[in-house]
Amino acid sequence: MPMHVLRLTRLAVAAGALLLTQGMTQGALAQSPASSGNALPSETPAKFVAPTASFDYERRIVMIPMRDGVKLKTVIVVPKGAKGAGMLLTRTPYNAGELTSHAQSSQMGSILQGYDNATDVIVDEGYIRVIQDIRGKYGSEGDYVMNRPMRGPLNPTEVDHSTDTFDTIDWLVKNVSESNGKVGIIGISYDGYLALTALVNPHPALKVSVPMNPMVDGWRGDDWFHNGAFRQINMSYMLEQVVTRDNDAKWFSSHFDDYDTFMRAGSAGDLARQRGLEQSGFWQKVAAHPSYDAFWQQQAMDTILARQPLTVPTMLVHSLWDAEDIYGAIALYKALKPGDRNNNVFLTIGPWQHGGAIGDVSNLGAIKFSADTGLYWRQEVLRPFLARYLKNIPGNAAATATVAPVTAFETGTNKWRALPSWPAGCASACTITPTLLRLGAGQKLTLGGAAGSGFDEYVSDPAKPVPFRARPIAPMGYSDAKGQTWPRWLVDDQREASGRTDVLTYVSDVLGAPLKISGEPLARLNASTSGTDGDWVVKLIDVYPDQVAAQPEMGGYQLMVSADIFRGRYRESLETAHPIAAGKTLPYRFALPTANHVFLPGHRIMVQVQSSWFPLYDRNPQTFVPNIFWAKPGDYRKATQRVFHDSYIELPTVGAGG
């Protein structure tokens, strides 16, 4: 066939195919007038209704109005068939939606696992679970303010967390028909702080509160500072928590080792600028208030709550190795108990990390406790405590009379103690007396005796600060799978530090008898520095025998029992910084975190003294500057530190009967 005839034939075939296609399309359109172009109908229903008939709970999401018109997202999880049930509320900045949908499950216990507080008790006891986003976070309306202050000089508005809790409880008791009208509040850390704010002018339906490891005083010893030293490790939390409503912005790491990240950044203020944190209103407040001025004092919850009698039964929960809020619960107990005429103040002291009471705590790092201490507390203490106030059971108060005013775990012997108060040492017939642990010549520790003469010294170099744990120090955002063990670093073996030349290490003889302490050890240093500012870190340590047959890896282990830092510029006044007189011997007095520990026979006692704890705390330049956040590279200088042999640690030693 000639080429031109072939070309014409192909064109005719193509034209016929086009006409056929058009005819088919027109026919299809005639049959489906709703269709548009070539689009397929959507396979997504206009509204999906999940079949939940087999679920053992009902999950409701409501927006509860506050007195100023702002609405707060609240998730209510009601057990199927509930009637006359108590309600357990948690208010949180950590996403109520996620906290009540941990798993896609028909079981209430599964959706509440994870961060939730004491899920086993909540589910087994049939409580209605309520979790609410605080104003300005996630699904709630309004503006977010970190630890929003109570109404007053720092908060001129008509609302605070106290009023928001009041309004929330008022709505719940009027609108949750399955409840008995009794509400408890529970929370860990920030949520624990929110459980405390509920106690200020509380709603009559609030019957019980359980603040666990609560944020109480951000300057004295909780999240932001310890005795004036800035906890710069928390800058990543600050940024992620405050710069967006949904925590979308993330802190980025520039090094695998956080020691390098913070060291190369310079000051904490420099690092804040490098990460964009200076855009945050909260960071601006922190950087403007490095001292314990009215900004911090007026927010301290122990001071606020001590102004009026506590009317709601409250169990304060303290963890002995809390890496975040080790100050708050004990400070609250000391502030509230003297005015507790109606026996509303209870205390638990457990061998846990931050928030550890809600998990399996048979061990903490290398330290073993012989049993699940978290489970024991939840079942034997928390369960009857909540039931006493949230359930309608005749004679229930008498049935729970065994919940002691203080339930304290004794480390070393690994025993729970039921105590009448804190510190008590034992149930009865024992005394707590101060015993001086002297820092003597030859870096020897002695119990009692006369003060020695002379001193020990070391050079503190800001260019080579003492790490707070063995390097590399993984960024806080790393999971356990990636080597993140931040929550339990306080039980790290301290041998790495004891071998450094810029750490003084004092050691006792081997103990021939047990030595028990209950309460706060007090550091009493007489020291000098060649600089005009400086930090002092004191660590009280239990040194295990050289060989431990039952657990060989514990041979010689150096377990920190209590430790803290003090920024020297606040020696004269916490409110106003003063330069230190260079070369002059001066007293430094500060309390270490509470302990309830027995140093066993065959062990030794150790005290370490150093001048940096990095990068947990920002470096002190050791040259006085008005605000360390803005210290310049030239301000950071070496200093010779001397600790004199009339220094000591005052131990709260338990005598006969302990």
Q: What is the pLDDT of residues 266-295, one digit of tens each?
A: 999 999 999 999 999 999 999 999 999 999
Q: Which amino acid is at 200?
A: V
Model-level pTM greater than 0.85? yes
Cis peptide before 514 (omega within 30 of 0): no
For residues 71 and 62, give the distance between their C-alpha atoms in angstroms, rounded to a whole number: 9
For tokens 């480390």, name the residue: 411
- What CATH number is given to the structural domain containing 637? 2.60.120.260
Residue of 542, 524, 539, 537 lying closest to 607 (CA atoms) = 539
Work out the average pLDDT over 463-477.
Answer: 91
For residues 257 and 248, give the distance between their C-alpha atoms in angstroms, rounded to a whole number: 24
Q: Are residues 360 and 436 in the same domain?
A: no
Cis peptide before 615 (omega within 30 of 0): yes
- Percent of the chain at pLDDT above 90? 86
Confidence check: pLDDT of 595 > 80: yes
Confidence check: pLDDT of 532 > 80: yes
Query: Is 11 among the domain residues?
Result: no
Question: 236, 486 in Cβ contact below 8 A?
Answer: no
Question: 133, 70 in Cβ contact below 8 A?
Answer: no
Work out the average pLDDT over 574-598.
Answer: 98
Structure tokens at 485: 């063990």
- Helical H runs in 276-368? 281-288, 294-297, 301-305, 328-336
Contacts 24+ apart (CB under 8 A), 171-176: 171/64, 171/65, 172/64, 172/76, 172/87, 172/89, 172/130, 172/205, 173/205, 175/62, 176/76, 176/78, 176/87, 176/128
Say whether 432 sits in a helix, a strand or coil.
strand
Query: Is 31 among the domain residues?
Result: no
- What CATH number is given to the structural domain containing 233? 1.10.3020.10
Confidence check: pLDDT of 1 > 50: no
Q: Are residues 73 and 184 in the same domain?
A: yes
Q: What is the pLDDT of residue 122?
A: 95
Query: Is 437 among the domain residues?
Result: yes
**Final residue belonging to a domain, choices 395, 419, 443:** 419
- Give the HSE-up count for residue 637: Cα atoms under 13 Å, Cβ half-sphere: 13
Displacement of CA 586 from its chain's centroid (Å): 34
Beta bridge partners of 212: 188, 317
Confidence check: pLDDT of 21 > 90: no
Query: Is 13 among the domain residues?
Result: no
Query: Is 306 among the domain residues?
Result: no
For residues 204 and 453, give the distance between their C-alpha atoms in angstroms, rounded to a whole number: 61
For residues 519 and 620, give the distance between their C-alpha atoms in angstroms, rounded to a whole number: 29
Q: Are residues 209 and 96 in the same domain?
A: yes
Say whether 495 sits in a helix, a strand or coil.
helix
Q: What is the pLDDT of residue 166?
A: 98
396's CB contacts (< 8 A; 6+ apart) are 387, 388
Work out the average pLDDT over 546-572.
Answer: 97
Q: What is the pLDDT of residue 655?
A: 85
Beta strands 515-519 and 595-599, pairing class: antiparallel
Structure tokens at 19: 């006409």
**Final residue belonging to a domain, choices 265, 296, 327:** 296
Q: Are residues 229 and 87 in the same domain?
A: no
Q: Are residues 211 and 247 in the same domain?
A: no
pLDDT in tens, 381-421: 999 999 999 998 765 554 445 799 999 999 999 999 999 99
- What CATH number is given to the structural domain containing 343? 3.40.50.1820
Query: Is 425 among the domain residues?
Result: no
Q: Are residues 235 and 181 in the same domain?
A: no
Q: In a 10 Å sphere around its CB, with 0-12 CB exposed, 13-18 middle and 19+ buried, how is residue 537 labelled?
A: buried
Q: Are residues 377 and 495 in the same domain?
A: no
156's CB contacts (< 8 A; 6+ apart) are none
Query: How far is residue 173 from each of residues 90, 117, 262, 569, measured CA to CA in Å?
Result: 15, 21, 49, 51
404's CB contacts (< 8 A; 6+ apart) are 346, 418, 419, 420
Q: What is the pLDDT of residue 394?
A: 63
Work out the average pLDDT over 362-379.
Answer: 96
Question: 317, 341 in Cβ contact below 8 A?
Answer: no
574's CB contacts (< 8 A; 6+ apart) are 227, 228, 291, 292
Q: Are residues 274 and 354 in the same domain?
A: no
Confidence check: pLDDT of 35 > 60: no
| Range of the structural domain that residue 529 is part of | 432-654
Residue of 325, 132, 321 lying closest to 224 (CA atoms) = 325
For residues 144 and 125, give the distance between their C-alpha atoms in angstroms, rounded to a whole number: 34
Query: Is 48 among the domain residues?
Result: no
pLDDT in tens, 302-343: 999 999 999 999 999 999 999 999 999 999 999 999 999 999
Question: 128, 78 in Cβ contact below 8 A?
Answer: yes
Confidence check: pLDDT of 425 > 90: no
**Which phi and psi (to 5°) does residue 97 adopt?**
-60, -50
For residues 541 and 526, give the distance between their C-alpha atoms in angstroms, rounded to a whole number: 20
Q: What is the pLDDT of residue 397?
A: 52
For residues 249 and 235, give the distance between their C-alpha atoms in angstroms, rounded to a whole number: 13
Structure tokens at 224: 């932001």
Beta bridge partners of 209: 185, 314
**Final residue belonging to a domain, choices 296, 325, 347:** 296
Query: Is 550 among the domain residues?
Result: yes
Q: What is the pLDDT of residue 429?
A: 72
572's CB contacts (< 8 A; 6+ apart) are 578
- Helical H runs in 134-267? 161-175, 190-197, 235-242, 258-265
Q: Are residues 374 and 240 in the same domain?
A: no
- Give the HSE-up count for residue 265: Cα atoms under 13 Å, Cβ half-sphere: 26
Question: 178, 172 in Cβ contact below 8 A?
Answer: no
Q: Are residues 645 and 513 in the same domain?
A: yes
Q: What is the DSSP letter of 467?
A: B
Confidence check: pLDDT of 22 > 70: no
For residues 75 and 272, give the distance between their C-alpha atoms in angstroms, rounded to a whole number: 35
Q: What is the pLDDT of residue 476?
A: 74
Residue of 433, 430, 435, 434 lying closest to 420 (CA atoms) = 430
Q: What is the pLDDT of residue 16?
A: 42
Q: Are residues 415 and 510 in the same domain?
A: no
Name the least confident of 20-34, 168-182, 445-459.
20-34
For residues 439 and 372, give the distance between their C-alpha atoms in angstroms, rounded to a whole number: 37
Sign (positive/negative) of CA torsion 570, 573, 579, 585? negative
Q: What is the pLDDT of residue 529?
A: 98
Q: Are residues 114 and 207 in the same domain?
A: yes
Into how many domains does the chain fold? 3
Q: What is the pLDDT of residue 593?
A: 98
Q: What is the pLDDT of residue 402?
A: 74
Query: Mean pLDDT in the chain?
Result: 92
Structure tokens at 229: 């030293």
Max CA distance (Å), the chain: 124
Confidence check: pLDDT of 450 > 50: yes
